[in-house]
Every structure is written in C-alpha cells, then in structure tokens.
Amino acid sequence: MDRLWAPWRAQYIREASAGAETDPGCFLCRGISSRDDRDNLLVWRGAHSVVVLNRFPYNNGHLLVAPLVHRGTLGELSGADLTEPIETVRKLVGILDRMLRPQGYNIGLNQGKSAGAGLPGHLHWHVVPRWDGDTNFMPVLGQTKVIVESLLEFYDRLAAELATAPER
C-alpha cells in the first residue's frame, strides 16, 4: 500500500483541541467570538456559519466552512446550522471557480478524531481546490509544500469577491 505523508500538517493537529459549547481552545470559536477577522483568517460571516482560510493549507484556496455553534457531529446540527454551511460550500465553489479556475475539488468533513478530525469538537467542511498535477516531489523529498499565494493576499482577494457576490 502506498502512503501519502503530510508532515507539515502535524502542527495543526497538535494545536487543535475539542471542548464544550464554545471552547477557548477551539480556533473556530476564538475566531467567531473575536472581531479581528483578518488576524483569525475568518473571511465571511453568515447568520449560522463562517468561512475561514485554513492556516495550514493543502493548496491555495483551502477553506473551512463551519457552523457558528460548537458541535462535533452532524446529528447535533439541525435547521440552518446544518443547511447554511452546505449552501455556503456551494457558493464558495462558484467563487473559487472564478478566482482560481481549479479543475476539481476535495470537499468533505472528518467527523471524530478517528476519522482524522484535527478539531473533533467543532464540525467543519474542507473545500480544497485541485488542479491536475498539483502534487509534485517537493512534499515527499523536501518536506516542503509549495503554496503560490500568501494567506493574507488570498484573504484580501476572497474577501473582496465575497463582498460583491450575490446572495445565494
């Protein structure tokens, strides 16, 4: 069996923690409760969900979409807390299509630590733009991931797009 190693993700996993209703150790809860959105890479706020740039991205444009409520399973979400994040994922795919022109996406969530959730207490969907040939020798041989744009540059571009994007 072949393995794909991603050692640059270890810091993210070490820093993440789970908790109660809102967890001061939860970076999503901290970002939601703060008003320093740019510092927290929180690029959009909805009535029931937020969009955050992944601080440790797999690719340029790697986003997290999370409900405002600190819940760890789909079964704990209902109504707009469940539907708005999915509608937000759909909206973001359209925006990323225009901005980055990816050839595909990995979109999903990891529910529970055993499933790979680095932050098991606060459910969130990953939206990862993909391009043919976007993996190369650098992560394997050089233990280095090449991201073509800084997080804050992409944050500013995405924030501008979201400010002018029509509602669903």
Q: Greater confidence, 94 or 10?
A: 94
Range 33-36 contact pairs with CB under 8 angstroms and sequence separation of 24 or more: none
Residues 6+ apart with CB under 8 A from 149: 60
State both tokens at 42: 């929180």
pLDDT band at 10 (very low <50, low <70, confident <90, very high): low
Q: In 3D, which of 33, 7, 10, 9 has the Cα closest to residue 122?
A: 33
Show me where the domains of the chain are located.
Answer: 7-162
Measure the CA–CA gap between 45 and 72, rounded to whole angstroms.
20
Please name the amino acid found at residue 119. Answer: L
Lowest mean pLDDT among 60-69, 126-135, 149-158: 126-135
Residues 109, 66 contacting (CB under 8 angstroms): no
Residue 102 Cα distances to 17, 44, 60, 107, 144, angstroms: 31, 21, 10, 13, 22
* Residue 126 marked as a ligand binder: yes
Residue-wise pLDDT for 105-118, tens only, equals 999 998 888 887 77
* Residue 122 marked as a ligand binder: no
Residue-wise pLDDT for 151-160, tens only, equals 899 999 999 9
Residue-wise pLDDT for 17-52, tens only, equals 333 345 567 999 999 999 999 999 999 999 999 999
Measure the CA–CA gap between 66 and 45, rounded to whole angstroms.
10
**Which CATH number does the domain 7-162 belong to among 3.30.428.10, 3.40.1160.10, 3.40.630.40, 3.20.20.140?**
3.30.428.10
Residue 87 Cα distances to 34, 50, 92, 143, angstroms: 24, 12, 9, 35
Q: In the annotation, is 124 catalytic?
A: yes
State both tokens at 43: 């690029």
Measure the CA–CA gap between 58 and 135, rounded to whole angstroms.
10
